[in-house]
Structure 1
Amino acid sequence: MNGAGGITSLTLQENNTVHVGVFGELDVFTGPELRTLVIECLDQRPAHLVLDVSGVSFCDSSGLAALLEAHKSALQAGATFTIDGVRPAMRHVLRITGLDTRLGLRPKPARQRFES
């Protein structure tokens, strides 16, 4: 588990998929941490990158930008990208910004992988 600054993360790798559980606030201060974490995960050359954001308590526009950048980085690395565990408030923001269709949200939360 990593928790150097404002976000805490837990990374799990199975079947050529990297699952990343993100906990805390995703904002101007922690967005760079997420970007670094995603690059480190993509260095493992997974076929799939899944971000579980069920532990994210707040996400501002900088957090949304970090998610967009994570999506772009995954695609450039040849990996699929999925966001899992999106809470209703975040889902609403993603829907009104149009990012819900762009970022590969799972329609229903998958089984709980990470617990805070």
Structure 2
Amino acid sequence: MPHPHPAPRVKQYAANGSWVVAVEGELDAQTLPPLQQAMERAAATQPILVFDASGLSFADSSTLNLLLQTHRATALRIAGAQPQLLRVLEMTGADTALALFPSVADACEARAS
């Protein structure tokens, strides 16, 4: 059965000493693999990984799991999280473990912690 929503778009680029992985669209267990591959590759090679969530319109528990796995592998910063993702992070307590920033620029400019 085809997925009801188009696959999310994932792009990557360097910005101010950080590696940014940006996603646009909806993420669930079926649409997560392209983002997961990008995040795993970046986490293995980049000291600071910024996840640009500003274009993310939906995220489920598979996305939360990926963010927590990435956080354990590298310095993960989440930029521009929309209300739906923020709610998932707050409900699970992950907002206290993950570094959240209002924008990619803020995440890139933050001092290493």
Aligned to 1:7: 8
Equivalent of 2:94 in 91, 99, 105: 99
Aligned to 1:84: 79
> How many residues are matched?
101
Structure 1 stretches of 4+ moved >3 Å: 109-112
Cα RMSD after superposing both structures: 2.1
**Which one is further off, 45-54 or 12-21?**
12-21
Superposition TM-score, scaled by structure 1 size:
0.75
Q: Is the 8 A contact 1:35 1:70 kept in 2?
A: no
Percent identity (aligned): 35
Measured after TM superposition, the shift of residue 14 of structure 1 is 3.2
Aligned to 1:21: 22
Secondary structure, aligned partner of 1:105: strand
Unaligned runs of 5+ residues in structure 2 are 1-5, 107-113
Measured after TM superposition, the shift of residue 38 of structure 1 is 1.1
User: How far apart are the structure 1 equivalents of 2:26 and 2:93?
Assistant: 21
